[in-house]
Structure 1
C-alpha cells in the first residue's frame, strides 16, 4: 500500500483532485502514511494505491454512520454497529470529479465533523 503517487501520474492526478475537493469542504487534517487519510474530529476518508497496480487506479474508502447504496461503490462493509466503509475504485478523471463521489465524500466529511 502506498500514499506517494509521484511515480503514477494518472493516479496522482486523481488523488490531487479528490484532495482539493475534500480540503475545500473546510478544515481537514491530512496524514500521509501507508495511506493518505483525512480527518476533522475523526477519520472519514482514505486514499491509496499498490506498488504493483498499474498507473490509473486509485482506491479510496469513505466511512459513514449509515450505509449509502450507490451503484458506483465497489463494496460496502459494516465494520461496527454504526460504521460502514464504502470502497471506491477511481479509474478516471470523470470518476474523481463526479457529483456522486463528491456527495459521498461530503457525507463522510459531515460524519467526520461530528
Structure 2
C-alpha cells in the first residue's frame, strides 16, 4: 500500500524518484523501520527519525527539490547538513537538500541516516 503512495507522490518526477529511491535504500539498510506516505514520506522505528519531501515544485522546477530531515540526539554541523534546528532537550532536526544522485550517495549522508536510525530505534 505504501509503495502505491510513493508512486503517486513521485508521479511525473522520475529524477526526484531516483533520488528518493537511493535515500530509501540507505534508510532501509539500517534495519527495521516503517514507512508512511502523506504530505511527506516518513520513516520510523520506535519513533520517527526521517522525513522526505519535495520542495519548490514550479514550472521552472517541475521535479521539485528532494529534502530529507533527520532527527538526531545531538547536533551535527557541516556538509551535507543545510540547517540544524533544536526541537527539544535532546533532539535536533537536520535538514539536507539533495539535488543529485551523487549527493544522495554521499557517505556523510549515509552516516547521518545511520545515526538517525539508531536515534529512532
TM-score > 0.5 by shorter chain: yes
> Is the 8 Å Cα contact of residues 49 and 72 (structure 2) preserved in structure 1?
yes
> Is the 8 Å Cα contact of residues 34 and 43 (structure 2) preserved in structure 1?
yes
> Is the 8 Å Cα contact of residues 56 and 65 (structure 2) preserved in structure 1?
no
> Is the 8 Å Cα contact of residues 54 and 64 (structure 2) preserved in structure 1?
no
Q: Which residue of 2 aligns with 1:46?
A: 51
- Matched length: 111
> Is the 8 Å Cα contact of residues 56 and 92 (structure 1) preserved in structure 2?
no
Give the TM-score normalised by the residue count of structure 1. Answer: 0.91
Does residue 1:90 correspond to 2:106, yes or no? no
Does residue 1:24 correspond to 2:32, yes or no? no
Residue deviations 1:82-104 (CA, integer Å, cap 9, x gap):
11000010000011111000000
**The structure with more helix, counted as a fraction of residues:** 2
Larger of the two Rg values belongs to structure: 2
Q: Structure 1 residue runs of 4+, over 4 Å off?
A: none
> Is the 8 Å Cα contact of residues 19 and 101 (structure 2) preserved in structure 1?
yes
Aligned counterparts of 1:66 and 1:51: Cα–Cα separation in 2: 28
> Is the 8 Å Cα contact of residues 57 and 64 (structure 2) preserved in structure 1?
no
The alignment's C-alpha RMSD in Å is: 1.4
Does residue 1:108 correspond to 2:116, yes or no? yes
